[in-house]
Amino acid sequence: MQSQKRKSIRWELEQLAQKSKTDRNQAIKSTKKYQKLGLNWKDVVIFSLAMFYTTLYHVNAYAEPLDSSVSAVNFDDISSGMMMSFNKTSGEYHSLQLIQTDYDVDVFGLLATIKLKQTFLNANDDWVTEGVYAFPMADQSAVYQMKMTIGDRVIEGEIHEKKQAEQIYQQAKSDGLTATMVKQYRPNIFTSDIANIGPNELISVEISYQMSLRYDQLFYELRLPMAIKARYTPSDTEPNLPATLAVNDLNHRRIDINLDAGFALDEIRSLHQNIEIAQELGRHQIKLSDQQLYDTHDFVLRWFPKVEQTPKAAYFSEIKDGYEYSLLMVLPPNNTEKSAKPRNMTFIMDTSGSMHGQALDQSKDALLYALSELDEATYFNVIDFDSTAKVLFTASRPATPDNVSLALDFVDGFSSDGGTNMAPALQISMQRENIKSGYLNQIIFMTDGSVGNESMIFDQIAQDIADARLFTIAIGPAPNNYFMSKAAMFGKGTYTHIASLAHVNDSMSHLFAQLAKPALTDVDVAWNTSGVIQSPSVIPDLYMDQPLVITSKVPLSEAKAAPSFVVSGLIGANNKQKNWSEQISLKHDGQTTGIARLWARNKVEEMTDDLMLGGDYSALKDEIIELALKHHLITEFTAMVAVDRNPDASRMARAKAAAEAQAIQQTPFPQGSLGWRWNLLIGMLMMSVAVLLQRKF
Amino acid sequence: MINSNSQAYTFGAKVSTRKTRNLWVKIITAALLTVGSWQVGSSAYLLAKAQLAQYLIADAWQATMKDGDAHKPWDWADTHPVAKLSFPTVGEVTYVLEGASGRNMAFGPARTVSSGMPGDSISTVISAHNDSHFSFLGQVKLNDVVQIETLKGQFNYQVIDLRVVDSSQQQVSINQQDELILTTCYPFNALQTGGKMRYQVTATRM
C-alpha cells in the first residue's frame, strides 16, 4: 500500500514535470522562432563578422609561430638554470642515458662494503660536453674510492679539497679531456659530474663505500636508497638542491649481495622488492629478481639471527699506519620494568603535500594506535603542520576518554597539502605549555623528512630540547633517513621507520615499548689501555633494543693483545637508579679492513654536527679536510675527481671542437612584430567600401 | 507551433523589392563600418599602448635607478624595466622589460630571461617588434655603438654582425661571452605577422 502510494505520487510528480517541461520547451521554441524572425539579423551578421575578425586579430597579435622542426625539447619544459647540450650544426639537444646502476654489496658481520657502478651511454652521434647526475646515498656511509672506466681504460679518482677538485674538473672539461667528479651535496645526496663523452660511448663511474649496519635486538638491516624525494625549503632559506642535468635515468638496477653474517640465520627478508637467495658454505647470495625499478622504495634487507645465536657483543679491528682502529658493538641487557615517572607525550604530525596518499594513511593509523594506547595518567597533545602549525590543546591535557575523542576527531580531519614547515610545530612542542616538570616529556614526530633546511632544524632541536626527548617516526617509502636519525640524535631519542601500512602496528608497538621503559643513561666505556680516541665521544642514551656501537683509535704501542672494556650505565631515574656494568674481553682481530675509514667517518660526522651547532667554522673545516684527505673520504669539503689524462690527440681535439660548437644554451626567437599594420589596412579598406556603398545608393 | 511556423513562412515568402535591397546595403554598410572601425581602433590601440607604455616604463626605470629596487611600470604589470637601451647613431631610446613574452613585448623591448645581463660573460638577448619599438633596427649599421644602462652601470657595445635568419631552422645561441643580441621580425615593412624570418643584430662589448 505504502509503496503503491509512493509510486503513484512519484508518478504524478513525473507526469507534472514532464508536462511543464514540454510546455516550457514549446514556449521557448516558439519565442525563439518568433524572435529569430523579428530579430535584427544584421546584428547577427555584424556580430559574427566582428567575432571572426577579433579572432583573426588575436591570432595575429599573440600567436607566436611554432618552431616545431627545431627540437624535440620545448623550452618551456626546461626549468631555468638547466643546462642542456645543444649542437649548433645538428640542432639537437643531447643528454646522457644512465643505462644501468649496479650494486655489489659485501656484508661481513656488522660491516657492509658497497660498490656502486653507474653506466652512462651517450646514444647520440655528437659529443656530450657535460652531464650531472644526482643520486641518493645511504646515510652513515664512508665513500672512499672512485673509478672511471672509458672503453678499456680505468682511471682511479683522487681525493681533493672540493674547490681544488672543481678546478681540476673544469680545466679537464675545457681541455676536452673526459673527466668525472663525485661530490657530496648533502650527507645522503651525492652528484657525479661527467665531462666530454664521445659519440656512442659508454662511461662508467664506480664508487666504493662502506657503512656499519643498523642493528636491532632482532635483526640486522641493510638499506640502499633508490630515489631522491623532492625537498621542501621554506621560502626564506636559500634552496640548495642538486639537480640531475642532461642525464636520463632508465631505472635499471642490479643488486647483488654477498652476505656473511657470522652466525646462523633464521630468515632473510627484503621489505619492498622480490629477491632470490642462494646459500653456500654459511654465506648467502642475494639478488634482486626484477631489475627494472618501478617505484621509489628503498631497498631494505633484514636478516634475523637464530635466537640463541644472537651475539651480545662484537669486536672488529684493523691495524693501519701505526694505529689500531676498532668497531665495538655491545647489547645492554633488556630491562623489564617500566618507567616510574608519569609521561607527557606530544605528537607532531606532518600533513604537508609530500605526505599525500599512503603516507598520510600510515601516519594517521600510527597516531590512532598511539592515542588508543594512552592511559589517563598520561598527558598529551597533538600538533598538525604543513605550511603552518595547528595545535589541538593550548596546553597538554590528561588522556581522558573525552580528550582522546577530541583528538581522534582532530586527527580524522587531517588532509595533506602545503609545504613542510617544521620549525613552528617543533617550537610549539618544546614550549613551556607542552612541557610538564616531573614528567617524562616525550615528543613523537611523524614525517617523511622532506625538508631542505635540515641543519636549521637540528640547531633548533639541540637548542630547545632540554629535558624533553624527541622520537622520530619516518613515514612513506623513501624517507630522508639522514634527517630522521640525526633529528632523533639531537633530540636524544630514537628513530623508527614504518615501511608500509602493514607494519604500522608492529613498529608502533615496538616504539611504545621503548617509550615506556627507562633508557640506559650515562653510558661509559672504560678501556684497559690508554690513549683511546673514541667516536662518538659522548655516548647517547640507549633505549630498549638499541646496541652500543662505537669506533675507536688506539696507538699500536698501547694496544693490548686481548682488549677488554668495562661498559657501564645507569638505568631508571633519580632515586631509583640502578648501575649496570659489564666486563668484556675479546679476541684481538686486526684483520677487518675499513674500520679505520669508519672511525674517520664518525669523527667527521661529529665535527659536522659541531659545525651545525655553531662550532668554530674554519678550525673544524680544516680538521675535517685533513682527516678526509688522509682517509680518502668524500665529505662536505672534499670531492673525488678522475681525469683521463692520456687520450689520443684526435679525441681531445674532437671533444674540444664539439664543446665549442655547443652553445651553452639556445632559445627560440621571440615573436617579431605587433601586427597592427594588417588590421589598420583591412579596417581602412572596409570603411572606404562602406562609404562608397552609401554614396552609390 | 503552427502559429510560429506560419509567421516564418510569411517572412520567407517576402519578395525581394527595392526596399529590401536598400535594407541589405544598409546592413552591409553598417557591418563594414563597424568592423572597419574595430580594426582601425584595435591597431590604434596597439600602437598607442606600445607608445604610451614606454613613458610609464621610463618613469619606473628612473625610480629603479634611484633606489636599486625593481619597480612595476603599472600596478598590475608582471614585469619591470631592467635596462635603458640607446642607439646614438639612429637617435632612439627605449626601455627594456624583463621576460620576452608576447604580452611584455606589446609594451617594449624585452630581455629573454634565460640569457645574461650586460657585464656578465653570457649573451644578453633583447627582442622587440619590428613595427613598434624596433622599427628602426634596420637602420643600425655595422660598427655602430649601442649603449645599454643597467643597475650595474653603462655598457657600450659595437655592432659586429647583421643577419637575417630563418627561425624555423635556427635558434638564438646564448654564448659564454659578453655580447648583446637584438632580434626582431623580418622583413621590416611586412603587412602580415607570424613570418619565420628574423633579423638579428649582434654587438660585442667594447
Summarize pLDDT for A644-686 with one digit per residue, the tens: 888 777 888 888 777 766 655 556 677 767 778 888 888 888 8
Summarize pLDDT for A148-173 with one digit per residue, the tens: 998 888 999 999 999 999 999 989 98
Summarize pLDDT for A463-474 with one digit per residue, the tens: 888 888 899 998
Return per-residue pLDDT of chain B as tens, 206 residues: 444 444 444 444 455 577 788 888 888 888 888 888 888 888 888 888 888 888 999 999 999 988 888 888 888 777 889 999 999 998 889 999 988 777 788 888 988 877 888 888 888 999 888 888 888 888 888 899 999 999 888 999 999 888 888 776 667 777 777 889 998 888 887 777 767 788 889 999 88
Q: Which of B22, B43, B189 to mutate to test the interface with A (most CBs of A within 10 A)?
A: B43
Axis crossing angle, helix A617-631 with helix A595-612, rounded to the nearest 10:
160
Q: What is the pLDDT of residue A623?
A: 93
Give me the residues paired with residue A34 across strands.
none
Question: Domain residue spans in chain B?
Answer: 43-205
Are B37 and A64 an interchain contact pair (Cβ–Cβ within 8 Å)? Answer: no
pLDDT band at A9 (very low <50, low <70, confident <90, very high): low
| Percentage of chain A lying above the pLDDT 90 cut | 17
DSSP state of A625: H
Domains of chain A plus CATH, in order, are 83-308+633-652 (2.60.40), 310-334+520-629 (2.60.40), 343-516 (3.40.50.410)
Residue A88 in this model has a pLDDT that exceeds 90: no
Of B31, B43, B184, the CB nearest to A679: B43
Cell 627507562 maps to which residue? A518
Of A50, A65, A667, the CB nearest to B112: A667
Grid coordinates standing for A388? 603552518
Are A61 and B193 an interchain contact pair (Cβ–Cβ within 8 Å)? Answer: yes
Task: Report d(CA A122, CA B85) in Å as an integer.
Answer: 43
Class of domain B43-205: mainly beta
Of B43, B184, B200, the CB nearest to A680: B43
Residue A344 in this model has a pLDDT that exceeds 80: yes
pLDDT band at A74 (very low <50, low <70, confident <90, very high): very low
Concatenated DSSP letters of A535-603: ESSSPPPB-TTPPEEEEEEEETTT--SS-EEEEEEEESSGGG-EEEEEEEE-----B-TTHHHHHHHHH
Residue A30 in this model has a pLDDT that exceeds 50: no
Beta-sheet pairing, A469-475 with A440-447: parallel
Query: What residues contact A421, with CB distance under 8 A and at least 6 apart?
Result: A232, A234, A352, A385, A386, A387, A388, A389
Q: Which of A673, A682, A684, A688 to mutate to test the interface with B (most CBs of B within 10 A)?
A: A673
Q: Which contiguous run of DSSP H or E holds residue A184?
A: strand A179-186
Grid coordinates standing for A480? 630522508
pTM for the complete prediction?
0.62
